[in-house]
Every structure is written in structure tokens, then in C-alpha cells.
Amino acid sequence: MARRRIIAGNWKMNKTPSEAVALCNELKDLVKNDAVDVVYCVPAIDIVPVVEAVKGTNVHVGAENFYIVDNGAFTGEISAPMLKDAGVEYIIIGHSERRDIFGENDILINQKVKKAFASGLTPILCCGESLALRKADTYKEWIERQITWDLDGVTADQVKKLVIAYEPIWAIGTGETATADQAEEVCGLIRSLIAKLYDQATADEVRIQYGGSMNAGNAAELLSKPNIDGGLIGGASLKPDFGKIVNA
């Protein structure tokens, strides 16, 4: 079945609100493509101005983080209803920087996936192995374990709307991209796992992205692979190159 391509930028902790608006204006014409879902996942403080800046364009807005409770005494946190009300549609969950720097584990990540769906947000669920696991050749088991835990209690209908991003940690921000064959191997493995955990129809619908130093030069080859439905892009999402990836 034909899955719609999804190219998402992860701006991470970059761009002040005024810089964010300037970037939206710079990218506006470059990211036009009616056949692709284009998403900017932006810092919380940039959400309101970015939603305003992309109005009337093909760009959707995502957030980079949230907490699993709707409101209350959680100093410094932001909730799913707040994001939804501001115009956010997508939410990155389980990024390796949140797992490794902020100690988020698969129990919290699973709660976040369920809360996002319950709140009308589409999760971009990240998984990926370290260089040590890649070298030890245990990366497949690791990815299977992450996805199995993160999707515990998530329904097939929800998984059909889910976006999964395979992001080998050794390729994030390092300039070292997985080869198209390495990326395809794991994206195919994830799709087979979804078929095993759910059914083939669900596996055929779930969209799987590759992420890790994707750029204007390597996007076309990665995106030509049958199980790679898009990209989650860090560094290159902050540059005009992002438009070339959208149109690769």
C-alpha cells in the first residue's frame, strides 16, 4: 500500500521565537510539496509564533516534549491539552537525547504514547541503538524490545496512525549516516515486528522514518527504500537544505 511520505524537522534547542519565524519564512517556498507531510517540531516557546507563521502553508507543527498529566503542580512542564490548543499536531516521544540526557525510560515513553493518542496528538516514536550495541550485533533485539515496551497497550487503530523514527544514536548529529541498506534493514524489521504484535494491515499502514544525519545529499537514496516512509531531521532542518529533503 502507498504510505504518505512524512518529513519532520527536529529543531531541538535551537531558534528563539523571532529566529523561528524568520526560518519559517525562509523555508516557506522551499518546502512546498502536496505529496508530503511536512512537520516542524519546535521548542515549546516557539510553538505559538510558528503555528501563526505557517498558517495557510502545507507545514504542520509538532512539539519536542510534554508531560503525561493535563495540569497541576509540575513546575516547568507542558501538557498535551496545552499543545493541542496551541495548534500542535505531532509530538516527538522517546528521542535518544530525552532517554540519555533526561533519563526517560520505556515506562514513561509508553505512558506518553498513550497520552498523546488520548489527547489527539500523533506521536513520532523514536527508537535506536548505541554504537556499542551496533558493534556487538545486538541492535535488532534492542530495537524490538524498545518498540514492544513503548507500544504496550496501544491499539492497532492507534498504531495505524503512529509514526516510528528509527534513529541509530551513532548517526545522530555525527555526520555519519547509516547506509540506505542498514536503515532499510531496521525499518523493515520494525514493520515485521508490528505485523507480529498486531497484524499485516497495521504494519502496512504505520509510517517509519529514518533519522540520523539525513541531508540533501543522502535523502533520495534513503527515501527510495521500500520500508522508509520519511525522515526525522535534526541539523539539516534548520537550513534551506530541508526543502531539498522534502522534495528528494
Q: Which chain residues interact with ligand PEP by CB under 6 A?
A: 10, 167, 172-173, 211-214, 232-236
Q: How far is the CB of 211 from ligand PEP (least distance, A)?
A: 4
Between 123 and 234, whose beta carbon lies closer to ligand PEP? Answer: 234
Between 59 and 169, whose beta carbon lies closer to ligand PEP? Answer: 169
Whole-angstrom Cα distance, residue 112 to residue 77? 13
Q: Quote the strand ranges of 64-212, DSSP E.
A: 90-93, 122-127, 163-166, 207-211
Q: Which residues are catalytic?
A: 95, 167
Between 117 and 210, whose beta carbon lies closer to ligand PEP? Answer: 210
Cα dihedral sign for 218, 188, 108, 168?
negative
> How do 59-63 and 163-166 pair as beta strands?
unpaired
Q: How far is the CB of 152 from ligand PEP (least distance, A)?
A: 23
Q: How far is the CB of 128 from ligand PEP (least distance, A)?
A: 9
Cα dihedral sign for 69, 72, 75, 77?
positive
| Cβ atoms 123, 147 nearer than 8 A | no
